[in-house]
A and B are shown apart, each in its own frame.
Chain A
Amino acid sequence: MGSRRFQRHSVCDVFRVNYIHGVNLSNVRLNQFRNLAAAEVQLSPKANLIFGSNGAGKSNLLEAIYYLCTAKSFRGASDDEMKARDAEFFRLEGDGKAAGQSVRIEIAYKPGEKKRLKINDVAEPRVSSLYEQFRVVSFGPDDVELVYGAPSVRRRFLDISIAQIEPLYISLLWEYKKTLAQRNALLRDLGEAYESLGAIEYEESLEVWDEKLASVGLAVHDARRRFLRSVSDLASGYHQSLTNMDGDFVMEYSISPRLDDYSQCAFAEKLKSRRRRELMMRQSMYGPHRDDITFSIGRSDCRSFASRGQVKTATLALKLAVVEHIGNVCGEPPILLLDEIYSDFDRARLDAVSGLLSSMSQVLVTTSKLEEARDLTIFDNILMVESGKVALHGTHL
């Protein structure tokens, strides 16, 4: 960790590490997913280019691949939104290789029912097992929301990224959510009584939930802090390489609650000292559900001072950092999905990105204009998407 801290990355030497395996999906089948009614797609384990006009369904194909790896949309869409209109259900299947093993994933969703997940033909009730298969990182037009959007967007980014590295993090989050719901229910009840009586009954039962929130909350903080510590140095390295300027890209974790010492005791004490406020608000006001990240370039807050272009570059640097971090921790880099990247960046930046693509594991890139795609020679599989249909265009142009 220490030596890495001051290391500057040039874009090209980052992926020089030789990964033993390459994680990739070789065949993906879609059924009633958004506008893709029925499609079977063969993918190359290296660089895939997907082109088609706007609205043809390119991003939907990437979203489906992301869903096969995480059971979530990279756009934060709900399962119902992803189901084709008028369809009863959607269903996705994927075959590929992860950690040197063949893996088959099947996911089906029908409104009003639990998602159905099968891994290698065996029904799997836990989503966390899915996260142990294919890791994935996406970058697209919506990712500027990481800077401009609500804190919940940034927490979702943290949670999905960490879950891919530590699948047990999902159970931790789930435990936190349940604890939070219980504590909020109690604060609602006690808050009402507090308002009418001016005193708290059963304060000792609230203390129990304080302790639980603090102990689980601290574990969530720890995982998020560990992740951000590794990723923020990598991200500023990529930012440096992509921009060639010295304005340092810095990410700062703003933890809720702020404490001098992050111990369960201090956390619980904080809750106790803010008892009145929480009772008046009738909900938990402190904890990981209130965490946030702030981004700055050259000490200025990105959200207020950076241009949209600067924000795009910064978020790309962040995503590339996550790719490398996952590769470092898991031994193989994740599948990388780049949605409409060509229209957003200038030539210099795209050249830098192209340099990266050739040394990655599996990559899928979408574009609406073939002539925009640079360095077309790196792609060994080109797919065409037109009005909800996917066709193989060839292995060369």
Chain B
Amino acid sequence: MFKSAQSVERLIAELTRLPGIGRKTAQRLTFWILKMKKDDAARLAQAILDVKEKVRRCSICSNITETEPCHICLDSKRDRTTVCVVEEANDVLALEKSGEYRGLYHVLEGALSPLDGIGPEKLRFKELVDRIGSGVKEVIIATNPNVEGEATAVYISKLMKPLRVKVTRIARGLPVGSDLEYADQSTLSKALQGRQEF
């Protein structure tokens, strides 16, 4: 195989570690970066460093944020009686884009998956239970419509039972095997409107 300069090889190797990027794509990106103006390349590098340095998780909902708490938890116009439970912070991004939802979020940081060694103790269930006391009336479960997300939803509904809070599941309008992240916005609005009591 053709061996290029060492620093080029290193960038290709780093890019290959990103999800969904194979060696071919990594090579294409590397050669694209090589052709970039130095300023543009510096901006890209700085943007990567910034997210690592400035971005943290909100102490209330665990959404990614630069402020503490996050702008959603801070927003007094949002409905504080409703909490939408999602697996990952990028699910918050997808639901926010739909513009339909005005309540708060709770990011679990994953879904139950014994195969990956993820049990209830590894997810933010305890924090969710703690939040229910402060005036929350409805918990909307928006975990992914796959086996792990469904099991997680069942777990949450069991957890919420003694707390006398309304629990709804986002309608299964999303195609099976698809994640929230990939659902388009109109599908998401419909899903939110059609949520059903668990």
Instruction: Name A's B-contacting residues (CB within 8 A).
Output: 171, 175, 178-179, 181-183, 185-186, 189, 202, 204-205, 207-209, 211-212
Contacts and interface: CB of A to CB of B under 8 A. Distances in A.
12 contacts: A171-B177, A175-B147, A178-B147, A179-B151, A181-B115, A185-B115, A189-B117, A189-B119, A202-B121, A209-B114, A212-B147, A212-B154
A171 B150 CA distance: 15
B158 A202 contact: no
Contact of A211 (B112, B120, B148, B154): B154
Nearest to A205: B120
B113 interface: yes
Interface-central residue, B115, B147, B176, B177, by most chain A CB under 10 Å: B147
B147 A189 contact: no
A208 B176 contact: no
B150 A212 contact: yes
B31 interface: no
Nearest to B115: A185
Contacts of A182: 112-115, 147-148, 151
Nearest to A171: B176
Contacts of B158: 204, 207-208
B198 interface: no
Contacts of A209: 114, 151
B13 to A, nearest CB: 21
Given A171-B176, A212-B154, A205 B112 contact: yes
Contact of B154 (A181, A183, A208): A208
Nearest to B150: A212
Dominant SS among interface residues on chain A: helix
B119 A202 contact: yes
Contacts of B155: 204-205, 208
Interface in B173-198: 176-177
Contacts of B177: 171
Nearest to A175: B147
Contact of B120 (A185, A202, A212): A202
Contacts of A205: 112, 119-120, 155
Contact of A189 (B114, B151, B152, B154): B114
Given A189-B117, A204-B120, A208-B154, 4 more contacts: A182-B148, A182-B151, A185-B115, A202-B120
Nearest to B121: A202
A26 B115 CA distance: 46
B69 to A, nearest CB: 29
Interface string B152-181: 101100100000000000000000110000
A205 B158 CA distance: 10
A202 B151 CA distance: 14
Interface-central residue, B113, B119, B151, by most chain A CB under 10 Å: B151
Interface in B84-130: 112-115, 117, 119-121
A93 to B, nearest CB: 27
A186 B154 contact: no
B114 A185 contact: yes
A167 to B, nearest CB: 13
B151 A208 contact: yes
A387 to B, nearest CB: 40
B147 A186 contact: no
B180 to A, nearest CB: 18
B152 to A, nearest CB: 8
Nearest to A181: B115
A202 B155 CA distance: 11
Contacts of B150: 212
A182 B151 CA distance: 10
Nearest to B152: A208
Contacts of A185: 114-115
Contacts of A208: 112, 151-152, 154-155, 158
A179 to B, nearest CB: 5
A185 B119 CA distance: 11
A181 B154 CA distance: 18
A210 to B, nearest CB: 10
Contacts of A175: 147, 176
B159 to A, nearest CB: 8
A171 B145 CA distance: 13
A178 B115 CA distance: 10
Contacts of B121: 202
3 closest A-B pairs (Cβ-Cβ)?
A186-B114, A185-B114, A178-B147
Contacts of A171: 176-177
A208 B113 CA distance: 11
A312 B119 CA distance: 50
A212 B151 contact: yes
Nearest to B120: A205
A179 B146 CA distance: 10
B21 to A, nearest CB: 18
Contacts of A207: 158
Contacts of A186: 114, 119
Nearest to A180: B147
A186 B176 CA distance: 24
B154 to A, nearest CB: 5
Contacts of A178: 146-147
A173 B146 CA distance: 13
